[in-house]
Structure 1
């Protein structure tokens, strides 16, 4: 290729390009070219997450008029335990309370909704009290919730520590990795494991009208394997009142009591995945 020139484009809001044009000269067949004498100038925003994978497009033009293009990615910085997990292909990240250098890091703020403990929640009747009694139930959402670009008005709640957007008959108790075909489509999994209800607990829901959020609580659920109890929540925020850059709803997981005591079934799975089960964030 003779007289190769290139134009660089950033496909992410975290990266800006000050000088997008470069000259690579002639490149022989099977060879490589560099724009060492006419480099691109690229800046990453200081708020960029460590380990963030930035996407770029490179347009090539040859002196004979032929054009070509390619896509590539560059990781910015090195991800550590105090940085968010992700992104997945769609762009979701998972922040925890140790990611204190980021404004999106959550703080623990338990909202008790179990009505046997004084909460305002409604118990979801499931009836999973033993082996092979796994249950799920379809619930109408209190607001339209966008998830992986799709809008939902219903969700399926399962006793086994997950909620799936839309309607499904599945009651998957055996947790698998994310993403994968082992569970329901469009799954949100705060603690996916083989769980059963106890006489003093269960699964509860409550719509907090003041804060525009829907709270689900698995209260004093018992591990089928070890008998230990687990209490945790998934909170979905109304996108109309808690807007995000993509329009997708924000999600929070909270844990009051957790025991990872199920080595037989891979302990527990925490994360989210899309409706095609080919993209997601595994925490």
Structure 2
């Protein structure tokens, strides 16, 4: 290759490339070339430490040669326990309650569903004696959603709820009491593993649901691990969200957390170990985030405990200006017209437009948002 140039690029508003082209000179077959001119790249302070980015590198010359190379999983910064976990390839993050300094840090705020404690939950009638004993019909139930829930870009109007601490979007007739790593072939897909383990019900156990237009809650109340009989009480909240990617958001709360299933393989019928699996995976089992498996946690994942919470979202720290519907870096009458057209169902906004139009952040776009946009224009 004679007189080759390398051009680096990335589609990320938090990354700025100053000198994107360097000359590699001539490269003979089976030889390598080391560029003496560096690329100059600047990263925003808003980027999450430990983020994995992919850059595009094009090698070309004036004689028509051109080759594109993807530089994958370039780590930016070093993640700590106080940073969110992720992203996966799709763009999901998991924030935990120790991620101080992030606006999306979740706080434990238990929503009681137990009717005996004044809650409004409805018993799904799930039962399971553990270790695969019993029928799938009793251990997995189905819940219709009052809104379309988008997960990894796919839309769902139903979830499958398992006694074994997981939900799957759509219909699943799997029992899956043995937990595995995420993402992977084991278990149903797509999946939210809130506390995927071999769990059993007792007289005090219930799996409850609560349904509203804003969110759906599934609560596992007083479940017991099959091996030791330790109590677990936790809940998954599925939000009807507005996000830049169009995907909805999930919060998992742990009221009582006892991750103790370490396995016992000395018996003729062994106890399955690996503790619990917590995380998410897509419908193809090819992408996801594993928050914990076999009691191992990545650096950015705080070990779970009683009264802890995690938040699952595609939102990161990318700054989107409120009201800037057409993303031209200013809020003006054009943005207001686009919002009004959306409200009147003349022309729908894309997911980013809907996100920045929700001025009062109530997950709904209406005339109040238009008034707030007008006020913003006058104030500026």
**2:54 corresponding residue in structure 1:** 55
Q: Equivalents in 2 of 1:29, 1:78: separation in Å?
A: 37
Give the conservation status (yes or no) of the 8 Å contact 1:159–1:196: yes
**1:266 corresponding residue in structure 2:** 274
Q: Equivalents in 2 of 1:94, 1:13: separation in Å?
A: 21
Which one has a larger percent strand, Structure 1 or Structure 2? Answer: 1
Q: Deviations over 1:193-234 (max 9, x none)?
A: 11112222311111244xx11111101111111111100011
Gaps spanning 5+ residues in structure 2: where? 264-272, 292-380
After TM superposition, the structure 1 = structure 2 runs for residues 69-218 of structure 1, keeping only pairs within 5 Å, are: 69-73=68-72, 74-129=74-129, 131=131, 132-133=133-134, 135-209=139-213, 212-218=214-220
1:116 alignment partner, SS class? helix
After TM superposition, the structure 1 = structure 2 runs for residues 16-31 of structure 1, keeping only pairs within 5 Å, are: 16-31=16-31
**C-alpha RMSD of matched pairs (Å):** 1.5
After TM superposition, the structure 1 = structure 2 runs for residues 239-278 of structure 1, keeping only pairs within 5 Å, are: 242-264=241-263, 265-278=273-286
Q: Equivalents in 1 of 2:277, 2:45: separation in Å?
A: 32
Q: Equivalents in 1 of 2:227, 2:20: separation in Å?
A: 58
Give the conservation status (yes or no) of the 8 Å contact 2:130–2:198: no
2:223 alignment partner, SS class? strand
**2:342 corresponding residue in structure 1:** none
Count of matched residue pairs: 277
Q: Equivalents in 1 of 2:140, 2:283: separation in Å?
A: 18
Q: Deviations over 1:245-270 (max 9, x none)?
A: 21111111100001111101211000
The normalised TM-score by structure 1 is: 0.93
Q: 1:130 to 1:28 in 2, by over 3 A?
A: closer
**1:231 corresponding residue in structure 2:** 233
1:94 alignment partner, SS class? strand
2:98 alignment partner, SS class? coil
Q: Equivalents in 2 of 1:129, 1:202: separation in Å?
A: 13
2:159 alignment partner, SS class? strand
Q: Equivalents in 2 of 1:32, 1:12: separation in Å?
A: 29
Q: Equivalents in 1 of 2:219, 2:182: separation in Å?
A: 22
Q: Equivalents in 1 of 2:177, 2:130: separation in Å?
A: 12
Q: Equivalents in 1 of 2:256, 2:212: separation in Å?
A: 22
Q: Equivalents in 2 of 1:236, 1:201: separation in Å?
A: 22
Q: Equivalents in 1 of 2:144, 2:236: separation in Å?
A: 16
Q: Equivalents in 1 of 2:176, 2:60: separation in Å?
A: 53
Shift of 1:129: 4.2
Give the conservation status (yes or no) of the 8 Å contact 2:199–2:225: yes
Q: Equivalents in 2 of 1:11, 1:188: separation in Å?
A: 29
Which one has a larger percent helix, Structure 1 or Structure 2? Answer: 2
Q: Equivalents in 1 of 2:182, 2:13: separation in Å?
A: 27
Q: Equivalents in 1 of 2:191, 2:146: separation in Å?
A: 18
Shift of 1:130: 5.1
Q: Equivalents in 2 of 1:101, 1:76: separation in Å?
A: 18
Gaps spanning 5+ residues in structure 1: where? none
